[in-house]
Structure 1
Amino acid sequence: MSASGTAQADRFAPLFANLRNKNEDVRQAAAIQLRDLVKSIVTEVRPDAAAKIWNDQINPKLFELAHSSVTHERLGGLVAIDRLLDIESDEAIEPRAVKHYRLYQYVKSGLQCNDINLMITASKTLGRVLEIGGNFGDAFMPAEIPRLLESLNNDRDLSRYAAVLILRALARFSVAQFYPFVGNVLERIWIPLRDSRVVVREGAADLLASCLDIVGNRPGQSHAINHAKILNQAVAGFKSTSVDVVHGSLLAYRELLLHAGMFMNETFTVNAETVLRFKDHKELLIRRTVVALIPTLAVYDTQTFTEQFLHKTMGYLLPLLKKPSERSIAFIAIGHISAAVGSEMKAFLEPIMTNIKEALQSRG
């Protein structure tokens, strides 16, 4: 290594060491310092010299961190990549598509683990890579998405969850490249929506929401077929005795209400009654999901909700304010319902305020 290379390595070494630190604040500070150091150096040298710095001093270390067997070291790699994305790409140093595809692969490795928090962090960084990288996915998406769809069949460890998170990032930040595969994703979405793990089902619901947004933003196309298929599958799931399946159906209902335009409008009353049918379910998860869905119904068709369901739902929610396990989500639901229906809530103000006072006093 040349004298200049050794000097540069000496400047980078303590920063990469701190990126391996167990303390998050230390890692965050090191990532910012690394970004600033790289930015100052590469802007002062010729493109070939800058490329050598990336290839010799930065990329190998990022690779090591991204593929480490130690969680906090992987997190250090992710925060470093996230900060380095702040540096504007220079085609003279390296083609933008090449750089971001490499970072995509580094970050994706953070999703190959059994640590949910690490996976969520990696998925956020992956979204940043895709958002900033532009259309670099043109070359690899046709092979990547089918591979991810196959991974949805894998219920071992958290491989299915990893596939959901990556597909969700692609759907959000690489819309043009993802669009041709939306139909394939919707055909497979019920696999993770009925997974035995809540976190996988919630991730799948977010993926469904992104797919519905993509479809809805394509003007002049009929979306009713896709929406009807999702609704029919959800209704079929409500006949199941499995908590996982029922929960997945409720999540699908939520996304249809939020992301499918007025598709649910003509059958709103039936749909609302279907949701409320599960308000007394023996499983707390199902009851909490129903409570969270009630404000969504109130916003979707406020007039019909107010006329047919307001008194019924408030008669259900008010007693929940006495239950410690359900009080918090009930208060939140009532707040959102109030924002939707406005003055129609005046009949319930006295018991609501009484419960608020009691809750504040109980907190001491």
Structure 2
Amino acid sequence: MLSLRKKAESRRHNRKKLNPNIHLDDEISTAEAVDGVTSAAGNDTRAASGADGDGKGFSESDPSMADLETTFATFNVIFDKLRSPSNQERLQASYELKNSLISLAREVSTEQFQRFSNVLNNKIFELIHGSDVNEKIGGILAVDTLIGFYVHTEELPNQTSRLANYLRVLIPSNDIEVMRLAATTLGKLAIPGGTLTSDFVEFEVKTCIEWLTTSPENSSSSSKQEFRKHASLLIVTALANNSPYLLYPYINSILDNIWRALRDTKLVIRSDAAVTLGKCLSIIQHRDSILTKQWYERLFKGCVYGLTLNTNEAIHATLLVYRELLVLRGSFLNSKYDEIYHSTMKYKDHKYDVIRKEVYAILPLLASFEPQIFTNKYLDQTMVHFLMVLKNLNASSANLSDKSYILVSIGDIAFEVGSNITPYMDPILDNIRDGLQSKFKNRKNFERELFYCIGKLASAVG
């Protein structure tokens, strides 16, 4: 908490000390951050970065801040690093910012820290609104650092509104990396902390549900509706990671509209929708078995309907749902086990590589869910198919990217069925040997997966 600052009355007996009951001003708006206006200590002192309010420091005429000149120079360097194109340098800068904030909070008075807070807000505002992607990412990292700082000082609920406004500038965005990072950081504001946090989650979730319900299943690749749809998925996932309890009342409304995103024309949106689906199902599975069963049944109906549509997007959506349900390992899947296997294998030779790769991912999950049933009924059929595909890949460069996925799938299946993989070891090892002996320019694309498969096979047969 802000009372982290050590008492230094011998040096600052004329300054008002911080204590747990005094909070930083949380009412500073984004506009105030630009103007550099402060209201610290009940006066009209301005952040004296110059008349233009660029927030780079305080006026030399302010004697109370003269001893902090070195400190502000340090923060200027840190924010320069946050603009760096190097991800490692930006991360290092965020770490330095955290340590510098903690040190400063221990050493200065309330009024000085409030003034400094306004300068900090100015700098973050500049980064967030920068024209360069690296600046935006640096601004997000700075906000993330502040969230961690305020969690430590137990003042996060009082700072949530301001920090959220910074991040909302970048959500939605046509830059997926920026939007994903901003949404992940926004979710950290949902760490349970009283009624203010609850209000924040309610606002964000209702906005996300609105974006999901008003977006068509298929929108243009650069439409505002598409960006909103994608943003809603990222935000819900982030909220689920940080505050599943507060998200729980809204799960039904989210799942009611999840198919819009699952069948989207863009792969990245379908994939993120599957992640969101898994998070939501995990939340209700731990709280309400009846509701969980109802949603399993509804989702299976949606899967069947999707297969009748027979589009690449709808087929992929169905397989994504299968995968998420198998990961959760709910007992409700027992009666659907055979249906999932046969529906999945129907697309093992599909022309769309994304669908084939999803098949490779689902088969080990089926083996893990019911190892004995999979061994008795489906292991031979599965391995014959895999070995045939590998043979064809060795003879032709077509679909060569499948090889790495098949090797991982074989390794994971072997790990689940144990010694039952023994009858297939010779042809599997022949393929591994051929892969290891191939030219590096080809082998480099699946070398890591080769060794992964070897490790899993060794575990399976001892």
How does the TM-score come out when normalised to structure 2?
A: 0.73
Contact map agreement 1:62 1:77 (CA 8 A) in 2: yes
Following superposition, the deviation at residue 313 of structure 1 comes to: 0.8
In 1, the alpha carbon distance for the partners of 2:432 and 2:110 equals 64
Q: 1:308 aligns with which of 369, 377, 398?
A: 377
In 1, the alpha carbon distance for the partners of 2:109 and 2:288 equals 47
Q: Give 4+ residue runs of structure 1 displaced > 6 Å after superposition.
A: 132-135
Q: How does 1:249-288 map to 2 (within 5 A)?
A: 249-259=318-328, 261-288=330-357
Q: How does 1:1-364 map to 2 (within 5 A)?
A: 1=48, 2-5=62-65, 7=69, 8-54=71-117, 56-87=118-149, 89=151, 95-131=155-191, 136-152=196-212, 153-154=214-215, 155=219, 156-157=223-224, 158-219=227-288, 221-259=290-328, 261-322=330-391, 323=393, 324-364=400-440
Contact map agreement 1:170 1:178 (CA 8 A) in 2: yes
Kindly tell me: are residues 267 and 114 of structure 1, through their superposed partners in 2, closer, same or farther at Cα, counting changes over 3 Å?
A: same
Kindly tell me: are residues 356 and 133 of structure 1, through their superposed partners in 2, closer, same or farther at Cα, counting changes over 3 Å?
A: farther
In 1, the alpha carbon distance for the partners of 2:375 and 2:164 equals 48
Following superposition, the deviation at residue 50 of structure 1 comes to: 2.3
In 1, the alpha carbon distance for the partners of 2:192 and 2:110 equals 21
Kindly tell me: are residues 172 and 33 of structure 1, through their superposed partners in 2, closer, same or farther at Cα, counting changes over 3 Å?
A: closer
> What amino acid is the match of 1:120?
R
Following superposition, the deviation at residue 43 of structure 1 comes to: 1.4
SS in structure 1 at match of 2:308: coil
Contact map agreement 2:326 2:365 (CA 8 A) in 1: yes
Contact map agreement 1:19 1:30 (CA 8 A) in 2: yes
> What amino acid is the match of 1:123?
A
Following superposition, the deviation at residue 220 of structure 1 comes to: 6.0
> What amino acid is the match of 1:20?
R
SS in structure 2 at match of 1:264: helix
Contact map agreement 1:321 1:355 (CA 8 A) in 2: yes
Larger Rg: 2
The percent of aligned pairs where both chains have the same amino acid is 32
Contact map agreement 1:278 1:286 (CA 8 A) in 2: yes
Kindly tell me: are residues 243 and 165 of structure 1, through their superposed partners in 2, closer, same or farther at Cα, counting changes over 3 Å?
A: same
Following superposition, the deviation at residue 30 of structure 1 comes to: 2.2
Following superposition, the deviation at residue 309 of structure 1 comes to: 0.7
SS in structure 1 at match of 2:348: coil
Kindly tell me: are residues 72 and 148 of structure 1, through their superposed partners in 2, closer, same or farther at Cα, counting changes over 3 Å?
A: same
How does the TM-score come out when normalised to structure 1?
A: 0.92
Contact map agreement 2:284 2:291 (CA 8 A) in 1: no
Show CA shifts across 1:90-146 (max 9, x none).
66xx84202234323323433332122222333333344434868753113333212
Kindly tell me: are residues 223 and 22 of structure 1, through their superposed partners in 2, closer, same or farther at Cα, counting changes over 3 Å?
A: closer
SS in structure 2 at match of 1:202: helix
In 1, the alpha carbon distance for the partners of 2:230 and 2:379 equals 37
More moved, 123-132 vs 181-190: 123-132
In 1, the alpha carbon distance for the partners of 2:420 and 2:329 equals 27
Aligned positions, number: 361
Contact map agreement 2:188 2:239 (CA 8 A) in 1: no
Kindly tell me: are residues 32 and 39 of structure 1, through their superposed partners in 2, closer, same or farther at Cα, counting changes over 3 Å?
A: same
In 2, the alpha carbon distance for the partners of 1:40 and 1:105 equals 26
SS in structure 2 at match of 1:87: helix
Contact map agreement 2:306 2:315 (CA 8 A) in 1: yes
SS in structure 2 at match of 1:139: helix
> What amino acid is the match of 1:27?
R
Q: Identify unmatched segments of 5+ residues in structure 2.
A: 1-47, 49-61, 394-399, 441-462
In 2, the alpha carbon distance for the partners of 1:106 and 1:212 equals 30
Contact map agreement 1:213 1:260 (CA 8 A) in 2: no
SS in structure 1 at match of 2:174: coil
In 2, the alpha carbon distance for the partners of 1:219 and 1:145 equals 20
Following superposition, the deviation at residue 326 of structure 1 comes to: 0.8
More moved, 351-360 vs 277-286: 277-286
Show CA shifts across 1:238-260 (max 9, x none).
11121011101110111111125
In 1, the alpha carbon distance for the partners of 2:193 and 2:315 equals 38
In 2, the alpha carbon distance for the partners of 1:358 and 1:124 equals 43
SS in structure 2 at match of 1:141: helix
Following superposition, the deviation at residue 48 of structure 1 comes to: 4.0
Kindly tell me: are residues 143 and 107 of structure 1, through their superposed partners in 2, closer, same or farther at Cα, counting changes over 3 Å?
A: closer
Kindly tell me: are residues 180 and 358 of structure 1, through their superposed partners in 2, closer, same or farther at Cα, counting changes over 3 Å?
A: same
More moved, 132-141 vs 239-248: 132-141
Following superposition, the deviation at residue 219 of structure 1 comes to: 4.8
In 1, the alpha carbon distance for the partners of 2:288 and 2:211 equals 31
Following superposition, the deviation at residue 5 of structure 1 comes to: 4.3
In 2, the alpha carbon distance for the partners of 1:51 and 1:260 equals 51
Contact map agreement 2:150 2:156 (CA 8 A) in 1: no
